[in-house]
Chain A
C-alpha cells in the first residue's frame, strides 16, 4: 500500500512537473509560434486588403489591393504578390516581393502604363509600405530569430490571458530599439505591439481590432498601426480571405507581374 502510494505520489509529481515544464515555454518559443500564426497561416493566402491612412487632421487616404502570399518554407522564405486597385493613379500596378528569411529580399514593380518591369532596391525593410504607417517588415514579418525575447509578465487583455514579451534587436535596427508584444496564450496572435525608439520613446503602436476564424484559422482581420509622433493611424482590413488555395509558385514571376492572375483578382 505504502509503496503504491509513493509510486502514485511520485507519478503525480512527475506529471505536474512535466505540465509545468511544458507550460513554461520560453519567450523565444512563444514568439516563434506567434510569428508562425501571424505571418505563415496556411500554406498560402489570398485577401482583398484596404488600407485607410488617417492623418492628425482627419484627412483620409485609401489604398486598395489584392494580396497573394505563398510560403516557400514554413517560417522561412515567402513570396508576395500585390495588385493595386485604388487610388486611380496606381490602379493595375503590380508589386512582387521574394522574401528571404536569411539573405536580401527581392522586389519588383510593374507599371502597366509604360509596360515597365523594374527591380527595385530592397535594402531598407523598415521603409513605409505605400506611404502607410506599416513598414514592409510590418507587412511581411520580422523574423523572430533577429531579436532576443524576454517574458516580462503574464497579464490579461480584454479578459484573455496574455504573455507580455519584450523583444530587443540583436543587431542595431532602425525600426525599433525594443518592442513589447501582448501575445494571446490560446492563439499566439498579438493583441498589441508597442514599438520604442531612441531614448526609449514610444513611436508606434499596433493593435488587433478584429480577430475572426477563417477556414479554421484564427486570423487578425483588422489591425491598426498608430504613429505616435505624427499622430497618424493606418487601418488595415482584410476581406474575402482564402487560405490554402493552391497558388502556384509560377504566379510569383515576371510573367504574372505583367499579366495579373485574373482568377484571384476579380
Chain B
C-alpha cells in the first residue's frame, strides 16, 4: 500500500514536471457527514450506530500533453466503532496515457466496473464494498479500489480490454462491528467480536487476477464477452487444515461470460450470462468449496412517466452437481435450491427540477426467501450542499442466505455533503 502511494505521488510529480505549457491542474472534492443508526433490536454488533463518520474527499486531476493523472484521496474520522479512528485511503491514483491511436493504458489504483446488471454482478468480478453499500455511503463506495494495469486495444470491429491486478483484492464485507452477519462456523448471526482476518491468497505472480473483455456491436446492440481468472471475492471456502480449527479461505475461480445491451420498445434491455468455474471443486464433491454455477440475468428499464424511471431484473443461477451439494448439506438450516432466483426493481423519481431525487431499490429472492430494500430521498439545497435521508431494510426466513444474514441490521441514515 505504502509503495503504491509513493509510486503514485512520484508519477504525479513526474507528470507535472514533464508537461509544461498545455498542462492544467484541477482540484475539487467534498466534505461529508454520515450518521446512521440501527432500528433493529437484539443485534449482536458492538455499536448502536451503523455510521457516524466525517469524510473529506480530495480529487486532483492533472492533464499534460501526453497523459492524465488522477488522484482521489479520502480522509475519514469514524466514530461508529468501539474505538473512534482516523483513516485515510487512496481510492484512485492512476496515470492514463495513449501510446498510439489504438491503445489506452491506465495504471495505478483504480475503480473497475463492467457488465450490464444494475447492482447485480456476474462478469464484474472486481472488488466491492458491501459494508459501505449497506450503511448509506455514496454509490461510488460500492466499488473498492484495486491496484491494476488496464490495457485497452481498439479496432474498427471491437475493443479488447485486459486488466491485470498483481495482488488479489477481496470484497469488503460486514465485519461484525457495525453490521452483523451469519457465520457458518458458529451457525448463527454474529457481531461485535474480533474475528481473525481471512487469509488472502499468497502474493505471487500466479495468484494475480486477470480480467478481460471483448466488446463489439451487433445490429445496434452492445455485446461483450468476458473472462476472469482469480478467486472468489468473498471467503466462501473453508480450509479445515489451516490453523487449529480451520479457516475460511478465498477459493480459486474462473468466470466465462457474455452480455448484450441495447434500446428496444422505448427502453433499455440487457442480458448477461456467466459460468462460474469453481476450480477447486470441479466435480462438486468438495464440501468446503462452492460448486460451479451458471448465472444469467435479464433486465429492462424504461421511463414510465415524467421524471420517473423504473427497471426490473430477473436473475437465475443454476448450481451444478446440486445432488452432491444436497447430500453434503443434510441437516443444515437452509439448503439452496438447484435454481436460485432473484428479482430486483429500481424506481427513480426526480422532482422540483431534478433538485429532489427519490430512489427505491428492492431485491427479492423467492427461492432463498429473503429481501433487501434500499431507499433514499436526496435534496440538492444548493449546487454545493446536498442532504440525503435513506435507509436499508433486510429480511429473511433463514439466517444464512445472502440477505437474510443481515436481517438484524435495518438502519436509517442522514448524510450531509458539501462539494467544493
Contacts and interface: CB of A to CB of B under 8 A. Distances in A.
Given A121-B301, A262-B68, A128 B353 contact: yes
B306 A124 contact: yes
B324 to A, nearest CB: 38
Interface stretch (B190-198, B380-388, B396-404): B380-388
B263 A106 contact: yes
Contacts of A86: 383
A91 B268 contact: no
A175 to B, nearest CB: 12
Nearest to A62: B383
Contacts of B261: 119
B109 to A, nearest CB: 12
Interface stretch (B21-29, B200-208, B332-340): B21-29
Contact of A262 (B30, B63, B306, B386): B63
Interface centre among B104, B110, B353 (most CB of A within 10 A): B353
Contacts of A92: 61
B63 to A, nearest CB: 5
A61 interface: yes
B86 interface: no
Interface in B1-59: 22, 24, 26, 28-30, 59
A89 B96 CA distance: 22
B222 A119 contact: yes
B354 A266 contact: no
Nearest to A103: B263
Contacts of B267: 121, 123
B301 A266 contact: no
A256 B45 CA distance: 46
Interface in A217-266: 230, 232, 254-255, 259, 262, 266
A266 B22 contact: yes
A104 B263 contact: yes
A88 B353 contact: no
Interface stretch (A108-116, A183-191, A200-208): A108-116
Interface residues of A, number: 35
B345 interface: no
Contacts of A124: 303, 306
A121 B307 contact: no
B63 A266 contact: yes
Contacts of A62: 383
Contacts of A111: 140
Nearest to A55: B353
Contacts of B262: 119
A21 interface: no
Contacts of A119: 222, 261-263, 268
A91 B60 CA distance: 12
A115 B112 contact: yes
A127 B309 CA distance: 12
Contacts of A114: 111, 113, 139-140, 142-143
Contacts of B72: 113
Contacts of A259: 96, 98, 104
B302 interface: yes
Nearest to B383: A87
B266 interface: yes
A116 B113 contact: yes
A59 interface: yes
Interface centre among A114, A127, A130, A131 (most CB of B within 10 A): A114
A91 B159 contact: no
Contacts of A127: 303, 306-307
A20 to B, nearest CB: 47
Contacts of B138: 113
Contact of A120 (B24, B63, B268, B353): B268
Contacts of B26: 91
A61 B383 contact: yes
A54 to B, nearest CB: 12
B420 interface: yes
Contacts of B112: 115
B366 to A, nearest CB: 27
B355 interface: yes
B419 A88 contact: yes
A128 B386 contact: no
A122 interface: yes
B354 A128 contact: yes
Contact of B111 (A115, A131, A255): A115
A254 B98 CA distance: 16
A121 B268 contact: yes
Interface centre among A59, A89, A115, A132 (most CB of B within 10 A): A115
A128 B61 CA distance: 30
A138 B390 CA distance: 34
B154 interface: yes
Interface in B251-307: 261-263, 266-268, 301-303, 306-307
Interface in B388-420: 417, 419-420
B152 interface: yes
A128 B307 CA distance: 9
Contacts of B301: 120-121
11 contacts: A87-B419, A88-B383, A114-B111, A115-B110, A115-B111, A115-B112, A119-B262, A119-B263, A121-B266, A123-B303, A255-B152
Given A123-B267, A259-B104, 5 more contacts: A86-B383, A104-B263, A114-B140, A127-B306, A255-B154
Interface of A: 53, 59, 61-62, 86-89, 91-92, 104, 106, 111, 113-116, 119-124, 127-128, 130-132, 230, 232, 254-255, 259, 262, 266
A-B residue pairs, 4 tightest by C-beta: A88-B419, A131-B354, A113-B140, A87-B383
